[in-house]
Structure 1
Amino acid sequence: MAMRPWREIAVPHEDVLKGTFQQAEFAADITQVHDGLATPEYQDAVLFFQRTYITEGMRLLLDSVVRRLAGKGGDPVIQLQTAFGGGKTHTMLAVLHLAQAKSASELAGIPAILDKAGVLTLPKARVAVLDGTKLAPNQPRKVDGHVIRTLWGELAWQLGGAAAYARLAESDAAGTSPGKEVLTGLIRDAAPCVILLDEMVAYIRQFDDNNALSGGTFGSNLSFIQALTEAMKAVPNAVLLASLPESHREVGDQRGVAALEALEHYFGRVQAVWKPVATDEAFEIVRRRLFAEIKDQPAADAVCRAFADHYVTHAAELPGETQDGQYLDRMRAAYPIHPEVFERLYKDWSSLPNFQRTRGVLKLMAKVIHRLWQSDNKDLLLMPGSLPLSDGTVRADVTTYLPAGWDPVLERDVDGDRSEPADIEQREPRFGALQACRRAARTIFLGSAPTGTNEVARGLETERVILGCLQPGQAPHVYKDALGRLETRLTFLNTANGRWWLDVRPNLRREMEERKRRFDEPDVIEAIRLALTRVMGPSAIEHVHLFTPAGDIPDDWGLRLVVLPPAAAWSRSGPNAARDAATAILRMRGEQPRQKQNRLLFLAAEADQVMHLKDTARALLAWRSIEADIKDLRLNLDALQSRQAEQNRAQANDTVHRLVREAFKCLIAPTQAPKPSGELGDIEWEIFPLNPAAPGLGKEVDRVVAENELVIREWAPIHLGNMLKRWFWKDGVVDIPALDAWQKTCQYLYFPRLAGSSVMQAAIAAGAVSRDFFGLAYGKDDEGYRGFSFGHSTSPILDASLLLIEPKHAATYEEKTRPAPVAASTLAGGPVTDTPPTAAGTGTSATPPLPSSPQARQLTRYFASVELDPIKASVQFSKIVSELVELFTSTPGTRVNIRVDVEAEDSRGFGEGIVRAAKENGKTLGMKSSDFE
């Protein structure tokens, strides 16, 4: 069964639906109720208790009041002291209605309290209300010809009219407190009675010790309070309730602080039963005031159960408290409002100076519900991510409690059709389908706007952001991705240590975005090149060229990987810049045609990845410049922002390296195949994808090259023989220089791409022992091949003299050059005969062993001498060793001797220092003869 949204299950009160509620309606005024002038929901006792959730604290207090009025115990004086908006006035109203009720049994929740107290019928009591905000210390009130000046005069008039007032009229006129006995008699005569003192601090703080007012003095009023609390103890069926603010910030100036401290002292000797409203109890208080009914409780329970099950499924992505069975009970108690809304409002927003815990929540949520109802909101619950912060009335309400500067934050970075989150959702449908970016931004605002800049751990954890957005059927990773996108786009969003918060100060990302414009294309390309250098790592390909111009890529026998710049990216559709750039490099080296085309492989980026890579590289450069300015004190930031700059730079660096791997994954190999007619076809470009997750890009290139045989590192002689037959031994050609065959494989794309000349040399050595592939010779003249070998093991040297001979021709040549048989007698010194002798006892001819074929004289010694430039001697000698000496040392058994002669002349004569240094250095270097003359 499909779950139904909150609007189909919960019915708001009519004033909430119509938007006719007023801020004053949420501020219960005890004087208006006492005077009969309040709105029905506060004035009518039955309606009041229907909308009132009796919390544990209120139940205990009403129990004490019932017992006291019935003369069965209870506390004579109860002090109510909670935070701003903690429910003090609402509780006093409950006592007022209970005391004046004609029938307490008609009041919701009261019969159970009466039963527990053992009271069958509660007597109707007189009620006196002393409201410190209504009474004025220096403005006497005239009633029926009497002038009432003080609190005690007001108390007497409300409890007993003119007769009661007459008992302390003199004290009222003089502004001096009546004694405890007078007050005791007054209260006893009025009992059962209830005295409600509200906003006493606001009244008493107005008195100044230096000026006497008609309402008395600071001291006389405190004396009255002390006497009143003592008098209440003497009357068993009278009760006093007094509300006091919890903190000094609610009392105003120093006079108010002094008044509060004095009142706390007098009331502190009385044990109060008041217990503040718990957050979970506030769920029910708000729900009863805002919603008339839950018309389908099973459907509501099904929604709560679906949320709880979804939270268990994604436990790793959410706060641990959601896995507790009690969280389901909290959702049921708060329905249709998500508990996380209450958590943020009661824990975070109630810390603001002007935000009243219950009244502020009611006022805000009434506007939220009205706006969402009008916009046909379909959320299953009212969540932090549901708050319509784009609405002007809702926005005005929340910004009232915040410092200046939050309006542009909400408009740009949180909510609204022109906000950045809305723009992201419009561009990326997977976010837009869930309003993922706006829901995440709203949740972050609700949880971070009231927090101070000096808090150790600012903002919301990622898990709690997801909790404020996620509904059954949705995947948490969508909101995680949305957070990542918001991080890169928003101006006022900050993140650190897995926490997110909004601030009125632009974040460092805005500074970074401005600095990104400073870096031109060459700077960005160089940053990508450096990252690619680190990502590439070692490779079996000897030469790797990163973004190297065609004219600077050598045209020699070395194997080379050419990494094309980002502008030359591979595109799977439309113009292909990578293919065009590779073709240009393959054909020309600068102004000269490129000869060794088969020595090149190419690596290019995917065109779709280039823009993101370049933008991230530009961001990396910006973060580096910010970090450098911080270190050089050119940018003044706090410690947190400095850490953020460092973290963002490191993150951008890691991201660039990751994007480089993801972008540069197109390995390109040029090939050219012959047509059936024998002509060569056009150059073709084969693409081989690389794995971006491989440990090193260079090693991944090696793997793909090996698996696809793009480079041959071990070559069987049969493949060499086939190549020679197809391309070289034809049209009467029966032998070719091996070096020419190697060089042709480097030049033409239809040949295999060998890793190096050693691969061909190894193939020749392996095939030399067989008579199936080729014969070998070291030169050729009019007399035939020199150093001919066919079917014999050898260690060939790949140079210009080595010839590869077609095997049939080699066999023919071998047969042709085999010497004629020689008679045995001739071998022994006898005459030569035409017929060879017959072997003894067999009558068959015996063939003597053939002598070896005549060989050309072998060269056995090489010698050379050269004069070196004393300035360039080290370079020239290194070249001699690499190109000449190593040629001989590579052949086992060759003895190589090198002698170095050093001769220096100076007609002026050498200085003593040079002579001494030359002798010492010559001895150290092992020179056989080192001296001067």
Structure 2
Amino acid sequence: MTTAYLHWADVLTLRPEITDADGQIADLQMSLYSAVYTDRNVPYTDPVYYAEITEPTPRLVQFMSTVARRLGTRIRGGKALFHLDQGMGGGKSHALVGLYHLANSPRAFLATELGQRVRREAEQNGAPLDLDGARVVVLSADNMTPGATSPEFGPATTLYERFLWSLFGGDRDRYAHHLAEGSNKAALARALEAVHGPVLILLDELMQYALDLADRKHIATMPGEKVFLDSLMDAVDEVPQVAFVIVMIRSDRDDRGYPVEAESLRTFVTSGIERNGIGDSVTEPQDFSAIIRRRLFQPADATPVTTLATAWKDHAGQTWTEQVFGRLGARRGLNGFAERLAASYPFSPDVMALVRDDWSRHAGFQRVRSTVEIFSATAYYWAREHQAGRWTPELIGVGDLPLHIVIENILSSGLLHGNERVIQGFRQVAATDITTKDGTRGRARALDTVLAERGIDTGQPSTSLRMATALFCYSLVPRDQAKRGATKPELLASVYSPGVEFNSAEEVFNLLISDDEGLGALEVTDTTSGRGTARFHLAIAQTLRMFYKQAKSSVSASARDAYLWERAMAIARSNQGPFDQVIPVANTPGAPLSQVFSDVDQNSKTRLVVLDPSRWTLHNGRDTPTRAEVSALLGVGDNSLPVDNGASCIVACVNTQRRDTVRKRVIEVLAWRSVISQLDQDDDKRPEAQAELRSAAQRVDDDLQKAFQHFAYLTRTDQTEVDWQRFDDDGKTALKGGHVWDALVNHSRAVHPGRLSGAYLKTLLSKIARDLTLKEIGQQFYKNPAFPLIPSIDDIRRAVHQTLTGPDFLQVIDGEGAPQHIASPDELSIGSLELRLRRAPVPTTDSSPQPPQVTASSGSASNSGSTPSRASGPTSPPAHPGPVVSTPPDYHRYRLEIPNRSMASTDARRTVANLLQEVLDLVDPEIGGDIQLLDLQLTLTAAPAAVDKVEATAAAANADWEEETLDF
């Protein structure tokens, strides 16, 4: 987006020492010892450079001017003893270096902007400032060893001796003279007066020296050191133009552990300061932003703060204003934004507020020092990106800290109090959920790819990474009122800039907190009873959610589909319903279709065939392979399989879209299984995990049943074809045989138990041109799609028996055409190849005597009611009138010959295959006509493997088979 203002990287210039060190400031922590005693080239030894990089904050100017007034005027009154007690990183050493330059190089220092402000403040009472000839006594206690000499202090081994040596500039005679007088108050006052000029005493890092004194090798010297310090704190107050500045962190701001002896020294010195001196600090929270900017950037004539703030407010619109900025709280929204931005530019007010108000409240955090390290690396990184022509934020916000660059600066800043377990935890969270140090991996980076694939464009790259980075920074320590993490408005605000659509930013947020795709370490703190705002933070403790997220990411697609198939089979088998058998068909990659479906075609059984959802699905716009293979299974289509019982086969299949939904549910189940396996038996998280597993498993079963909404079967109208049906009622499923059977009944493809009537059977049989044996009638219900599915053979018996009475009744005859008397359905042998059902002959008038009929009781044996008796005697009257004489059929002999036809081309093979299929239909007992004799001779020239099945089938049909080896 084109803006009406210059980018900050075009307005501000990083200091050379930052660019020369690739964003890392050398000698960031100023050392009084380095500025005074070493020959190492540190830039702040130059008072002009020191003043240039030092922000003249009100507290610093006031403190330095107070010390300057004490040193440079002979006005009586005012304190001579000063105590800088701020925590680490509060600017104490920085202030001492400035005081050293003030007293040691007054002309150069007072000529700078900072020096001029100090002079004006110091001379407000009218007395001119004169620091010529001032002596500076520098006691850098963290570079001293009790009882040992050092090059800086000649023969001196104690604080008292080092004080004298430095006071007299290494003059041994004067040193020896005053050393002999002792360290009492009067002697020290005389030594100070002997300088005949201003004396500035700087005692830095006293507690480090106290730690050494507490060692048993030096503990005996501690009383003498206490006497000296106590006397000196009293003496400086008695001698004009003398100032004594002690740097010693207050106990409540120092989280380092000290032995009792060292703490006793702190307590002793503190009491002396309370008696004679004043405690002071050189920075305040409101100075923080200005200090950072001055330390990082060279002075700029002007910045586009007003124009930028106006643009940000104008482009926010109603949604951003109401949903985000209006909910951030006091001094966080767009009101007063320009004023806050003027102090923080080029950093956003939010990131400055985070450091100033949240991070700085923790005693271990070295506010200025640590933040300069983090912000210098950040500013350098983005300046380089801008220089390379890549996207760069208009303001550096909370989410713009490049974690792959500054993660160690943040973790080692003291913010986490040196707790290695916590540090390692956040290091791991950053690498896993945000970004690795090489900037190539991390969940947030992966989510940016997901967003791009889904066409979600926020107008800026790496939006997910930036929002996740903000969440990480907000999660490090408890914030105001001990709250954890960030709110949704805070996270949305972290990616705002003019041109960013709210809906796109919200899509990023929703993806980031998603249970399925979001950050693994994310924890949500819900507010009580819906009051207030939910908070989000990244947790380092292994919560159930973290276990769960990690487990979810490790679930393989094969394990997911295996569980889905396992549950589909279990549900179907336990809900078989009226079907004789449930046949699951698993996906067998690489196997031919005939092998995959080899167990499906079975005689005299109604079968519910359940297809593996990992392979077969319907209604996704790309279900042609599934439809083709189901058709082949049922014996129709161009690639149909040789199937005898397709009519009694019902195929259940899953819906594609719903399968995708239940697949996600399965991942939840497998993830909770994995979590439970990682928990000890006595882990208090185990019951909750088990409850989650039960709920997830139930959701899978529920959704899986809804997903199996399709079923297919054969129907016959003008031709045999596949009818595709589905359940629109979520309470019905193709995995339950009862539901499918009811649907088949509604579509006239099945009957309920006892509901197959003789009249219906007669109607069905009337469409077949010839009489059928009882076995053929029974097979029609399994092989002929014009016949309905029946729950049992008993239904056929009852229906056949009903056809034997009433109008247009039928009769059962034996192989010789003699009618049979059937007393009950149980006497019908449905498997009989001898007994045949035919329409009863039309009665004729015949007065000739009829031969008697012999019943089973007159001498022929009964076969347990399964085979009816034959009418053979003259004594019994016929059950029905005799047969009508009909004209015998006219038979012809037909001969088909295909002389040596090449089968090399596909078209030739297809033509012949169609011809042979017609022959097959003619021979088929179900659909063929009246055929009496077959004399078949077929000669094939083929590879042996191609005719294996034909040979086996020929043997079963008691046909001759010959094989001849050819030189072909």
Does TM-score exceed 0.5, indicating one fold? yes
Distance (Å, rounded) in 2 between the aligned partners of 1:614 and 1:59: 68
Q: Specify whether residues 561 and 484 from structure 1 end up closer, same or farther in structure 2 by C-alpha distance, changes over 3 A only.
A: farther
Which residue, 557, 563, 567 being the options, matches 1:523? 563
List per-residue Cα deviations over 1:76-127 (Å, max 9, x = no partner).
Answer: 2221112221211112233334445327364238538835972456523323
**Is the aligned partner of 1:389 residue 2:403?**
yes
Matched-pair contact (CA < 8 Å) for 1:11–1:291: yes
Matched-pair contact (CA < 8 Å) for 2:110–2:118: no
Which residue, 454, 461, 481 being the options, matches 1:434? 461
Partner of 1:151: 159
**Map 1:533-548 → 2, pairs under 5 A:** none
List per-residue Cα deviations over 1:669-703 (Å, max 9, x = no partner).
Answer: 999999xxxx5796675889x79xx9x899xxxxx
Partner of 1:169: 176
Partner of 1:337: 347
**Is the aligned partner of 1:54 residue 2:56?**
yes
Distance (Å, rounded) in 2 between the aligned partners of 1:212 and 1:469: 57
What's the CA shift for 1:665?
A: 9.8
SS in 2 for 1:196: strand
Matched-pair contact (CA < 8 Å) for 2:212–2:218: no
Distance (Å, rounded) in 2 between the aligned partners of 1:41 and 1:143: 21
Distance (Å, rounded) in 1 between the aligned partners of 2:325 and 2:32: 49
Distance (Å, rounded) in 2 between the aligned partners of 1:669 and 1:74: 101
**Is the aligned partner of 1:93 residue 2:97?**
yes
List per-residue Cα deviations over 1:4-62 (Å, max 9, x = no partner).
Answer: 54423332112222326765520112233345967675234344333222345334423
SS in 2 for 1:325: coil
Partner of 1:2: 2
Matched-pair contact (CA < 8 Å) for 2:634–2:643: no
Q: Specify whether residues 200 and 222 from structure 1 end up closer, same or farther in structure 2 by C-alpha distance, changes over 3 A only.
A: same
Partner of 1:268: 274
SS in 1 for 2:289: helix
Matched-pair contact (CA < 8 Å) for 2:486–2:536: yes
What's the CA shift for 1:210?
A: 6.8
**Is the aligned partner of 1:374 residue 2:384?**
yes
Matched-pair contact (CA < 8 Å) for 2:37–2:152: no
Distance (Å, rounded) in 2 between the aligned partners of 1:109 and 1:642: 67
Q: Specify whether residues 314 and 642 from structure 1 end up closer, same or farther in structure 2 by C-alpha distance, changes over 3 A only.
A: farther
Partner of 1:619: 668
Distance (Å, rounded) in 1 between the aligned partners of 2:383 and 2:551: 40
Distance (Å, rounded) in 2 between the aligned partners of 1:480 and 1:511: 23
Partner of 1:791: none
Normalised by the length of structure 1, the TM-score is 0.59
Distance (Å, rounded) in 1 between the aligned partners of 2:322 and 2:702: 31
Partner of 1:574: 622
Partner of 2:185: 179
Structure 2 segments unaligned to the other structure (5+ residues): 526-534, 586-596, 637-641, 734-744, 748-762, 768-782, 787-805, 810-968
Partner of 1:312: 321
**Map 1:37-76 → 2, pairs under 5 A:** 42-69=44-71, 70=73, 71=75, 73-76=77-80
Q: Specify whether residues 620 and 187 from structure 1 end up closer, same or farther in structure 2 by C-alpha distance, changes over 3 A only.
A: farther
Matched-pair contact (CA < 8 Å) for 2:672–2:692: yes
Partner of 1:478: 507
SS in 2 for 1:79: strand
SS in 2 for 1:390: helix
What's the CA shift for 1:65?
A: 3.0
Percent of aligned pairs with the same amino acid: 17
Matched-pair contact (CA < 8 Å) for 1:445–1:502: no
Distance (Å, rounded) in 2 between the aligned partners of 1:619 and 1:749: 42
Distance (Å, rounded) in 2 between the aligned partners of 1:131 and 1:265: 22
Q: Specify whether residues 115 and 87 from structure 1 end up closer, same or farther in structure 2 by C-alpha distance, changes over 3 A only.
A: closer
Matched-pair contact (CA < 8 Å) for 1:84–1:250: no
Q: Which amino acid aligns with 2:183?
A: S
SS in 1 for 2:538: strand
Partner of 1:223: 227
What's the CA shift for 1:243?
A: 0.9
**Map 1:169-208 → 2, pairs under 5 A:** 169=176, 172=179, 176-180=182-186, 182-183=188-189, 186=192, 190=196, 192-207=198-213
Matched-pair contact (CA < 8 Å) for 2:84–2:248: yes
What's the CA shift for 1:300?
A: 4.7
SS in 1 for 2:143: coil
Partner of 2:375: 365
SS in 2 for 1:337: coil
Structure 1 segments unaligned to the other structure (5+ residues): 534-540, 699-709, 713-726, 732-746, 751-778, 783-933
**Map 1:834-873 → 2, pairs under 5 A:** none
Q: Specify whether residues 61 and 38 from structure 1 end up closer, same or farther in structure 2 by C-alpha distance, changes over 3 A only.
A: farther
Q: Specify whether residues 658 and 438 from structure 1 end up closer, same or farther in structure 2 by C-alpha distance, changes over 3 A only.
A: farther
What's the CA shift for 1:623?
A: 0.3
Distance (Å, rounded) in 2 between the aligned partners of 1:647 and 1:476: 35
Distance (Å, rounded) in 1 between the aligned partners of 2:568 and 2:269: 71
Distance (Å, rounded) in 2 between the aligned partners of 1:649 and 1:113: 74
Count of aligned pairs between the two proteins:
695
Partner of 2:138: 129
Distance (Å, rounded) in 1 between the aligned partners of 2:79 and 2:702: 71
Q: Which amino acid aligns with 2:537?
A: W
Matched-pair contact (CA < 8 Å) for 1:204–1:259: yes
Distance (Å, rounded) in 1 between the aligned partners of 2:123 and 2:700: 73
List per-residue Cα deviations over 1:714-738 (Å, max 9, x = no partner).
Answer: xxxxxxxxxxxxx99xx9xxxxxxx
Q: Which amino acid aligns with 1:419?
A: R
Q: Specify whether residues 624 and 251 from structure 1 end up closer, same or farther in structure 2 by C-alpha distance, changes over 3 A only.
A: closer
What's the CA shift for 1:366?
A: 2.1
Q: Specify whether residues 494 and 313 from structure 1 end up closer, same or farther in structure 2 by C-alpha distance, changes over 3 A only.
A: closer
Matched-pair contact (CA < 8 Å) for 1:531–1:660: no
What's the CA shift for 1:461?
A: 5.2
Matched-pair contact (CA < 8 Å) for 2:141–2:209: yes
Normalised by the length of structure 2, the TM-score is 0.57
SS in 2 for 1:108: helix
**Is the aligned partner of 1:13 residue 2:19?**
no
Segment drifting more, 271-280 vs 227-236: 271-280
Matched-pair contact (CA < 8 Å) for 1:425–1:436: yes
SS in 2 for 1:523: helix
Matched-pair contact (CA < 8 Å) for 1:578–1:604: no
SS in 2 for 1:477: helix
Partner of 2:523: 495
Matched-pair contact (CA < 8 Å) for 2:463–2:495: yes
Distance (Å, rounded) in 2 between the aligned partners of 1:59 and 1:110: 10
SS in 1 for 2:668: helix
Q: Specify whether residues 162 and 46 from structure 1 end up closer, same or farther in structure 2 by C-alpha distance, changes over 3 A only.
A: closer
Distance (Å, rounded) in 1 between the aligned partners of 2:282 and 2:570: 63
Matched-pair contact (CA < 8 Å) for 1:440–1:482: no
Q: Specify whether residues 263 and 210 from structure 1 end up closer, same or farther in structure 2 by C-alpha distance, changes over 3 A only.
A: same
SS in 2 for 1:206: helix
Partner of 1:111: 117
SS in 2 for 1:195: strand
SS in 2 for 1:54: coil
Distance (Å, rounded) in 2 between the aligned partners of 1:77 and 1:229: 7
Matched-pair contact (CA < 8 Å) for 2:328–2:489: yes
Q: Which amino acid aligns with 1:200?
A: L
Distance (Å, rounded) in 2 between the aligned partners of 1:612 and 1:191: 86
SS in 2 for 1:11: coil
What's the CA shift for 1:244?
A: 0.8
Distance (Å, rounded) in 2 between the aligned partners of 1:305 and 1:382: 17
Distance (Å, rounded) in 1 between the aligned partners of 2:113 and 2:702: 68
Distance (Å, rounded) in 1 between the aligned partners of 2:582 and 2:269: 81
